[in-house]
Amino acid sequence: MSIPRVLLYVAGALAAAVLGLSATAAARETASPPKPRFGGTLVVASGDPGPLNPGITSSGQVHPVTGEIFSGLVRLNRHFDPVPDLARSWSVSKDGKTYTFNLEPKVRWHDGHVFSSLDVKFTYEEILLKLHPRTRTLADVIESIKTPSKNVVVFRLKHRYAPFLTWLDEDNGAILPRHLYQGTDPLTNPVNLRPIGTGPFKFESYASGDRVVLVRNADYFKAGLPRLDRLVFRFMQSAQAAQAFEAGEIDVYMFPSGPDSLRFLNRPGVTVTERGREGSARVVPLILNLKRSPFGDVRVRRAIAWALDTDFIARTAYAGVLKPAKSPLTRFIGWAYTPKVQQYSHDLTRANALLDAAGLRRGSGGGVRFRTSLIYDSGFARQAELIKTQLGEVGIGIDLKLMDMNSWVRKLYIDKDFDMGYTNFTHPADPDVGWKRIYVCSNIVQAPFTNGSQYCNPEVDRLFAQAAGELDQKKRGDIYKRLQRKLQSDLPVIPLVDGIGPWIFRSSEFRGFGNSGSKEQFFFGEKVWWTKGTATRG
């Protein structure tokens, strides 16, 4: 065994014990908050984002910064329901195909220009539907965008599309200033390095490799907000962020590793919580190449599922921060999720029987049934070792192939040159947005993060299409539950763990985290406040 199992059990048990307290920590943070104060500088560890144009990328390094500068038409609350942002209200026609948005009337861009419905129309037609890697798929949904008045914008859809509103937040639908982008190439426009938005913070400076500094937008359209004076994003990697947090040099540590999450848990004055990051919920699956023998045989796929000990993988490789997956869909999309699907608890007898039945018998002396390989990057190193050990127990020999992320993406998604692989698939807000892409026939393409297993089932495609057009959430949820049962039976990918991963902040000095929405890592600056600030805005 490559990792001493006893040690891992002990570490896992400790992890599970301490993480159980995270909810308590979060509760302490959010229970009857005192009156917010004003002023102060919040320092956040982040990656170097590059161009600050949220309309042309879905990069996880860009949006935590641009989410403070720009706004979408809506935001998603902690239950993924749309709430007003630039759109103060909206209505949907009876046929479900026309969405009319009433915009906030007194919004100005950070350079003083007046915001209007023309900005919305321009952003969608010229940038988001052409260049945003995710939102451009809406070009197949949106028929027209009309601007009957300065403060009203009307989207007409080609067909009913239930998740439409969940696409309209800053992450997927940041509204950009028409007066600065019209007639330019959005990829190279210099404004990308000194962005002008409508959000709570204005851009002040960007030192490449070092930091982005934002300052309070005194004319923000939401009265009394933001409370902080400045936001500083300092660029560093995870290990450096942990040390900088220890040394008191940063206040928010956005994407901590499992061990770091444990390290800061129960630290006085520090809060470790998943609240506010529900939109980043993910299921990590083991992806099998169904075009390669023997993974085309469902008995082999089920045998692998029976042989894997996902409890153990969650406790050890993820330090208990993520939980064993009980369904192909994340449990955080509650209205669509069901754990009432086939469960594959760790059972070597069943796994061996299925492999025997598939004709993959052990050689004499209990040898290897077949050899295969697993490709992965450094983020999956411990998991890969565990999978190799666990599948070795039922006679599946695995060659581990560690590679850098770009190489692994190419092998898995572009060339399809792999046996087994993995991916962190986030399921943001709606199953149609992040989950469907793993399974539908039309997504077997040469592009990253698509249907790598090459599973194609017309019945599954039909159910996904039916769900997208169903406006009744209860009925929609039922369709997705049917899909989960079907997919957990077919097992084109084997769900390993499900969860979010916490973020860490210095709650002794800053309050107001974790209550505003499911993608709060993109706009926490709006409501966070400094405990040492002034009682009134000076």
Partner 1 sequence: MRPDSFAVFLLRRLVSGLVLLAMVTAATFVLITATPGDTAQVLAGQAGADPAYLALIRRRLQLDRPLPYQIAAYLRQSAQGDLGFSVIQGRPVRDAIGGRLLASLLLAGTAFFLAALLGVTLGVIAAHRRGGVVDAAISVISLLAYSLPVFWLGQLLIALFAVRLHWLPAGGMRSADGSGGFGDVVHHLALPAVTLSLLLMALIVRVTRTAMSEALVEDYVSAARAKGASEPRVLIRHALPNALRPVVTVLTGYLGLILTGAVLVETVFVWPGLGRLLYDSVLARDTPVLAGLLLLSATLVVAANILADVLYRALDPRTALR
Separation of alpha carbons 396 and 307, rounded Å:
10
By CB under 8 A, tell whether 187 contacts partner 1: yes
Separation of alpha carbons 490 and 72, rounded Å:
38
By CB under 8 A, tell whether 166 contacts partner 1: no
**Which contacts qualify for 206-212: CB closer than 8 Å, 24 or more apart?**
206/52, 208/48, 209/48, 209/235, 210/234, 210/235, 211/235, 212/49, 212/52, 212/65
Instruction: Name the minimum Å distance from CB 23 to partner 1.
Output: 28
Q: What are phi and psi of 493, to 5 degrees?
A: -130, 155
| Owner of token pair 């239930």 | 162
Contact yes or no for 88/103 (Cβ under 8 A)? yes
Cβ closer to partner 1: 60 or 163? 60
Instruction: Name the minimum Å distance from CB 332 to partner 1.
Output: 17
By CB under 8 A, tell whether 239 contacts partner 1: yes
Cβ closer to partner 1: 153 or 412? 412
Enumerate the β-bridge partners of residue 397: 371
Angle (nearest 5°) at CA 490 between 485 and 496? 80
Binding mask 446-475 for partner 1 (x = CB under 8 A): xxxxx-------------------------
Helices (H), 401-472: 405-409, 431-434, 458-469
How many residues sit in the footprint of partner 1 (CB under 8 A)? 62
Binding mask 261-300 for partner 1 (x = CB under 8 A): ----------------------------------------
Beta carbons within 10 angstroms of residue 528's beta carbon? 24
Question: Which listed residue (30, 58, 77, 238) binds partner 1 by CB under 8 A?
Answer: 58
Helices (H), 210-268: 238-246, 258-264
By CB under 8 A, tell whether 180 contacts partner 1: no
By CB under 8 A, tell whether 348 contacts partner 1: no
Residue type present at position 510: F
By CB under 8 A, tell whether 91 contacts partner 1: no
Question: Which listed residue (36, 60, 84, 163) binds partner 1 by CB under 8 A?
Answer: 60
By CB under 8 A, tell whether 210 contacts partner 1: yes
Cβ closer to partner 1: 39 or 60? 60
Separation of alpha carbons 275 and 505, rounded Å:
12
Question: Which listed residue (16, 118, 180, 213) binds partner 1 by CB under 8 A?
Answer: 213
By CB under 8 A, tell whether 393 contacts partner 1: no
Instruction: Name the minimum Å distance from CB 208 to partner 1.
Output: 5
Cβ closer to partner 1: 13 or 405? 405
Separation of alpha carbons 536 and 538, rounded Å:
6
Handedness of CA 290, 294, 295, 296 (dihedral sign): positive
Angle (nearest 5°) at CA 478 between 476 and 481? 115
By CB under 8 A, tell whether 401 contacts partner 1: no
* Biggest CA-to-CA distance, the chain: 82
Instruction: Name the minimum Å distance from CB 264 to partner 1.
Output: 13
Instruction: List the helix and strand counts (H, then E) for the chain.
Output: 17, 22
By CB under 8 A, tell whether 441 contacts partner 1: no
Cβ closer to partner 1: 251 or 419? 251
Which among 5-13, 148-156, 205-213, 301-309 is the span making contact with partner 1, rule CB under 8 A?
205-213
Question: Which listed residue (8, 15, 37, 51) binds partner 1 by CB under 8 A?
Answer: 51
Query: Which residues lie near partner 1 (CB under 8 A)?
Result: 41, 43, 48, 50-53, 56-60, 130-131, 133-134, 136-137, 185, 187-188, 190, 192-193, 207-211, 213, 232, 234-237, 239-240, 243-244, 246-250, 404-407, 409-411, 414, 424, 426, 437, 443, 445-450
